[in-house]
Amino acid sequence: MFSATGMQGFELFSKVHIGTLLLFFAACGALVYLRNKRKIYQQMIKWTLFILLPACEISLQVWLILTNQWNVSNLPLQLCSISTFLAVFLFLKKSNHLFYLLYFFGTLPPILAMVTPEIAYTFPHFRYIEYFLHHSVIALAAFYFILYEGYRVPKNAILFSFFTVNIIAVPIFFLNLQLGTNFFYLASPTKAETILTFFGSGIMYYIYLEIAALIVFFITYLPMGVLQRIENRNKNR
């Protein structure tokens, strides 16, 4: 379960993979259901998510070190790790602008990462459990802030988040050049076959990456826009 070589052979959309995705969506449904009983369950949900976020990040780093797999490419500088830090901070201190980033970084991207995971291990290996638990908890934390703490995202937050991720990407790009890493997938597409595989190489790769980011951010905003329109309609009745 904890070895570096055991339990490999992950199969995309296998019964285990589909079951894991269904479990995540069931947890999302549970968040919605328990919202009506928030006085009883809110603190329990809040602190469970708060503990699981750093626990997943730290346990992965410890496992990599203990199995002699750790290298600079495992520094917590991918979007999911940044989303983890944002969520942990938001549990401690309110910030609308930081929530905008968490919403765009930590909802659709981790869900897509679970649908087409870049992982070799299968259940019940530690890495499989950590990977899906970590990505699930990031998205669940974002949903928690929407459902239980009333955070909302205005439409202009799409451009705010897009420009912010580009600002973050500049030092990450040069760090990749220095370390030979691939944070934010700015050096090359993922090893697993995802939509990034079809973006080509060179300048066109970055152009398509920017276009894809805008499209993903816009799609991510759509349910938030619908939610706010429904809420405004109910207020005006």
Count of the separate structural domains present in the chain: 1
The Cα 145–Cα 137 span in angstroms is: 12
Q: Give a yes or no: residue 9 inside a domain.
A: no
State the pLDDT at residue 26: 97
State the pLDDT at residue 188: 75
8 A C-beta contact, residue 132 and residue 20: yes
Structure-block tokens of residue 173: 């790009």
Q: Give a yes or no: residue 185 inside a domain.
A: yes
State the pLDDT at residue 201: 73
The model's pTM is 0.91
Q: Give a yes or no: residue 149 inside a domain.
A: yes
Owning domain of residue 120: 15-235
pLDDT tens-place values along the chain, 237 residues long: 888 888 898 999 999 999 999 999 999 999 999 988 878 899 999 999 999 999 999 999 999 999 999 999 899 998 899 999 999 999 999 999 999 999 999 999 899 889 988 889 999 999 999 999 999 999 999 999 999 999 999 999 999 999 999 999 999 999 999 998 989 888 877 665 566 665 767 788 888 889 988 999 999 999 999 999 998 888 877
State the pLDDT at residue 193: 59
State the pLDDT at residue 194: 63
State the pLDDT at residue 116: 86
State the pLDDT at residue 88: 97
| Vertex 37: Cα angle to 33 and 38 (nearest 5) | 100
Measured CA distances, 233 to 36, 154, 224, 227 (Å): 21, 16, 14, 10
Q: Give a yes or no: residue 4 inside a domain.
A: no
Q: What burial letters (b/e) apply to 55-73, b meaning 16+ CB within 10 Å?
A: ebbeebeebeeeeeeeeee
Q: Give a yes or no: residue 1 inside a domain.
A: no
Q: Give a yes or no: residue 10 inside a domain.
A: no
State the pLDDT at residue 236: 74
Q: Give a yes or no: residue 184 inside a domain.
A: yes
State the pLDDT at residue 37: 84
Structure-block tokens of residue 131: 């990977």
State the pLDDT at residue 234: 83
